[in-house]
Amino acid sequence: MMDQESREIIISLKKRISELISLYQKSKSEKESLIHEKLELMEQLETLTREKEELEHHYNTLKLAKTLAANSEDSHYAKLKINRIVREIDKCIALLNR
């Protein structure tokens, strides 16, 4: 038979094992929650990045329209800007054709 000291050791070990299991389950739950939160934040970041790009495009379009509507002194600047945009488009088309 086991003596009293052995029983106390076994009871203490069972208690510690229970505590460890509880801590593990809590950590696992927190990890899953953090993974879910990370995914949500990544989706928000992607959405905000797309919105930012759309706004920048809209801003550049408005800036170009304003330049084109400006007086004749600015027409040279507008032509240069249009030429630069056309070159960028040509580069994009060339990359797509590869």
pLDDT, tens digit only, all 98 positions of the chain: 568 889 999 999 999 999 999 999 999 999 999 999 999 999 999 999 999 999 999 998 888 777 766 655 667 777 788 889 889 888 888 888 87
Kindly report the pTM of this predicted structure.
0.53
Of all helices (H) and strands (E), which one includes residue 35?
helix 4-69
Place of tokens 């905000």: 48
Encoded amino acid at 90, one letter:
D
Contact criterion met (CB below 8 Å) for 78 and 70: yes
Q: Are 82 and 65 in contact (CB under 8 A)?
A: no
Planar angle of CA 82, 65, 71, nearest 5 degrees: 90
Residue 42 and residue 50 in contact, taking contact as beta carbons nearer than 8 Å: no
